[in-house]
Structures are given as C-alpha cells and as structure tokens.
Amino acid sequence: MTLFRWANSFVALATLLLSSLAAAEVVDYRLVVDEIHHRGDQAIASYNAQEGMESGDLFSDLYFDLFEGRGMERQIAISDVQLKTELETYFNAVIGQAMRGASREKVEAAWQTLRLRLDEVAKAQSTTAMADFSGVMLQSFFILLREGFEAMLVVMALVAYLRRTAPDKVRVIWHGVGWALLASGVTAWLITSVYEVSGAAREALEGATMLLAAAVLFYVSYWLISKREADRWKEYINNQIDKAVAKGSLYALGFAAFLAVYREGAETVLFYQALALGAAGQTTALISGFLLALIVLTGLFWLMRSASMKIPMGAFFTVTAALLYYLAFVFVGKGVLELQEAGWLEITPLEWVPIIDLLGVYPTAEGLLAQCLFLLPALLALYLFWRRRAAQLMGAGIEELAKDKRMNHQG
C-alpha cells in the first residue's frame, strides 16, 4: 500500500504541474545575455566605489530582472544545475564586490568572469538544445531523478529508522511527503499563476526553507546518534519507545520529511513547466521521462531500505545520523547562498575558495562561516564520544586486571 500511495502522490504532482503550465515563450539565451552584457557594461562604466550600494543594486537587477526574470536560470537548471549554481556565484561575486565598495579593477575582473561565462553558455545553447522525443524524455527523466534523489535520501533514512523501531509509525513520514507534494504544487501554482512573486522573495523562501530543514535534520541526526550504543538503545526501548516517539520526535521526523520534499518539490514543478514550454508537442516524452525516473527512484528506495535492514543497530544509527547531518551541512551552504541572492545577507567574495556543489560550499565568507559554525557541535560531540569511549575502555581494562589479580590470589 505504501508503494501505491507514493506513486499516486507523484502522479498527482505530475498532473498538477502539467495542468498549471504558465503562458510564456521559450528562452533565447543570446537575447538575454546580450542585454545583460549591455546593462552590465554600462554599470561598470559608471561604477564609483563611493556609491557601491547603488552599483550593487544595478548588478542585482541584472540577476533578478534578466537572468532569472526572463527564465534563463530555470531553463539552465533543467539540464545542468551545477552550471546554474556556478553562474549564481559569479553574479554574487560581482554584487558583493560592488556593494563593499571594492576597487574598479576587482569589480571589473568579477564582471568579466561572469560576462565570458554567460557568453559561453549562450553560444552553447544551440548545440545542447534537444527538441526531439528522446531529448525531452532524457531531460524530464533527469529533472525528477536529480531533484527527487536528495529528498529520497532523507525520506529513506527516516522510513528505515521507523521500520526498525516503530513500524506502525511509518505513516507519519508518508503524511509529511504527501503534504509536501501538495504544498509544492500549490506554491508553484501561486508563483506562476496567481501572485507576481519577485525573484528576491522566491530566493528568500528557498533559502529560509533550506536553513529550517538543516536545523530539523541536525536535531534528528543528534537524536539518532545519541541512541547508537546498544545499552542506551535497550534502555530507550525499555522506556516505552512508542510513547517517546509519539510525544515529540515523531513530529520532528514527519516535519523533516515534509521539508526535504517541499524544498525540492516546488522547484521540480517549475522545472517541468519550463521544459514543457520549450518542448511543445512532446507531452508524451515528458511524461515518459517522469514515469521512468519515478520507477528508478522507487527501485533505489527499496534497495536502500532492504540494505538498511541488514545493518547492525549501532552502525545503522551512525550511518543514518551521518547521512542526515551531511545533508543538513549542504543545506546550510545552499540556504546562505539563496539568502545572499535575495539580498538578505551580505556577500563577501573569497576568490580562492572553489565551488563544491556536492558539499554546498561556495566562495563567500558568510557561507563558509555558517558551515564552520554548523560543524562545531559535531566536532564537540565526536570529542566527547571518544573521551567517553576511552574512559569505558580504560574502565574495562582496569576491571579485567582486577579480575586477573583476584584469580591469581585465589589460585
């Protein structure tokens, strides 16, 4: 029943996204990039370090009014989300340098990096665009596979945990997933059909959701790791697990599933809208790719769940907690990036830092600081764990030595 419920939820989402397609034209990268070039060159020519905030606003407008507002950002993200993030960080570098009143040379260097990369993307559009059946199907397949896999990791970890501890409570995870899919569809519909939501507001919503998800996943991962030792787990079982889960942690688990799916769901709907607009008459290919990805995700889910059931309890808790903590770490980096794009946080570019999308690491001081602060509790927990472990081993050694002495004395 769970599998059918999950599949039905995704089919409902597909129906919603196909029925809510917004009326828009296919994005021509060349036209958008040419206008970005023109307005950006003008902003550089008039740049004054004493009026850095005004210049930063001009470059920010290039991002929201043109790159995002004309749909180029969303169109790129359909096939290459890392390229989208790379361009976002280049925009952030220019905006950050300008707003901090950096020298003209630094601002112009950042602008030229962005300018050249945008030009490369525009030139490559004609060779990467695929309007045939197989091309649209592959793009549709990878949208759901890419966006769904990250959310599935969280859902899989939570479901596997409850199946081993309180099987009758697994439904709370699926309730969270179902509500998240509904909220994702409604959010996307509101953004495209009802309200003229500004790009900054959209980025702020995504950033706030990511940071909230990171906080919840951190709590869940800490809660799991605290139960990893067998004696603590047995004590927890003896203290009526059902009551403990039902009181507070159960809601945290369901909320974690909701946030993980919601932060991906609305974006997935918008990506499919953009793909459908650029592939008129290829609805069958779009749906085929969607269903194929759904089948692959379902297979991956069941494989991971089966493997998790064979892991010893202590190792299972450790692996699950580490996975959730890793995802939370990535969400912190991406959440800060989104809030910087929205103008909610300052941008201090760090040219020596590489873009590591897999870890959510981006070249800004604010993002790195947030992730470093996020690591501190984990490092402290590891330190305390190893101290406690060393004390336990030492105690066991002393006890064994005392036992040997008693045996020798008796002999």
* The domain boundary residue, chosen from 128, 154, 186: 128
Residues 378 and 251 in one domain: yes
The stretch 261-288 carries a mean pLDDT of 75
CA 276, CA 233: separation in Å to the nearest integer? 50
Select the more confidently predicted residue: 51 or 234.
51
Instruction: Name every residue whose Cβ is closer than 8 Å to that of residue 46 and which is 6 or more positions away in sequence.
Output: 55
**What pLDDT is stored for residue 313 in this prediction?**
60
Average pLDDT value for residue range 170-179: 88
pLDDT at 260 > cutoff 60: yes
Mean pLDDT for the stretch of residues 268-289? 74
Do 76 and 171 share a domain, yes or no?
A: no
Q: How many domains does the chain have?
A: 2
- Same domain as 33, residue 10: no
Domain match, 176 and 285 both:
yes
pLDDT of 316: 67
Tell whether the model's pLDDT for residue 215 goes beyond 60: yes
- Residue 169 pLDDT > 60: yes
Question: Which pLDDT value is given to residue 285?
Answer: 84
Residue 71 has pLDDT above 70, yes or no: yes
Report pLDDT for 230. Answer: 45
DSSP state for residue 100 in the 8-state scheme: T
Q: How confident is the model over 347-391, as pLDDT tens digits? A: 999 988 999 988 889 999 999 999 999 998 878 877 776 777 777
**pLDDT for the residue numbered 292:** 93
411 part of a folded domain: no
In a domain, 340, yes or no: yes
- 185: in domain: yes
Kindly tell me if the per-residue pLDDT of 95 is higher than 90.
Answer: yes
Q: How far is CA 138 from CA 209, 282, 295, in A?
A: 29, 12, 14
Q: How confident is the model at residue 261 (pLDDT cuts 50, 70, 90)?
A: confident
How many percent of the chain have pLDDT more than 90?
23
- 3-class state of residue 56 by DSSP: helix
Task: Determine the average pLDDT of the residues in 144-157.
Answer: 82
**Nearest alpha-carbon partner for 347 in 50, 115, 60:** 60
Closest CA to 144 of 258, 261, 268: 268
Of the pLDDT bands very low, low, confident and very high (cuts 50, 70, 90), residue 392 is low
**Considering only CA atoms, which of 31, 40, 29, 30 is closest in space to residue 63?**
40
Provide the token pair at 399. Answer: 């006890």
User: Rounded to whole angstroms, how far apart are CA atoms 78 and 84?
Assistant: 9
Q: pLDDT class for 234, splitting at 50, 70, 90?
A: very low
Closest-CA residue to 263 (of 127, 115, 154): 154
Q: Which domain holds residue 72?
A: 29-128
Alpha carbons within 13 A on the beta-carbon side of 404: 6
What pTM was computed for the model? 0.70
Q: What are phi and psi of 361, to 5 degrees?
A: -95, 125
In a domain, 344, yes or no: yes
Residues 82, 17 share a domain: no
Q: What is the pLDDT of residues 101-133, one digit of tens each?
A: 999 999 999 999 999 999 999 988 755 544 467
Same structural domain, 321 and 278: yes
DSSP 331-366: HHHHHHHHHHHTTSS---B-TTSPPBGGGTB-SBHH
How high is the mean pLDDT of the chain?
Answer: 78
Domain-terminating residue out of 128, 157, 180: 128
229 and 374 inside one domain: yes
Same domain, 72 and 92: yes
Specify whether 300 is located in the same domain as 331.
yes
Structural domain contains residue 403: no
Residue pair 317/216 in contact (Cβ under 8 Å)? The answer is: no
268 contacts 144 by C-beta, under 8 angstroms = yes
Q: Tell me the percentage of the chain whose pLDDT exceeds 70.
A: 74
Looking at the fold, whether 216 and 318 belong to one and the same domain comes out as yes
Contact 360, 329 (CB under 8 A): yes
- Are residues 7 and 52 in contact, defined by beta-carbon separation less than 8 angstroms? no
The secondary structure element, H or E, covering residue 257 is: helix 250-277
Is 140 within a domain? yes
The pLDDT, as a whole number, for residue 197 is 56
The answer to whether residue 408 is domain-embedded is no
For residue 6, pLDDT beyond 80: no
Residue among 199, 267, 270, 279 at smallest CA distance from 22: 270
Same domain, residue pair 368 and 387: yes
Whether 176 and 292 map to the same domain: the answer is: yes
Of 97, 128, 159, which one is at a domain's C-terminal end?
128
Residue 195 pLDDT grade (very low, low, confident, very high; cuts 50, 70, 90): very low
pLDDT of residue 329: 92
In a domain, 366, yes or no: yes
Residue 263: the pLDDT is: 74
Q: Which residues are bridge partners to 349 per DSSP? A: 364
For residue range 13-22, list pLDDT tens digits in order: 555 444 444 3
The encoded tokens of residue 69 equal 């507002």
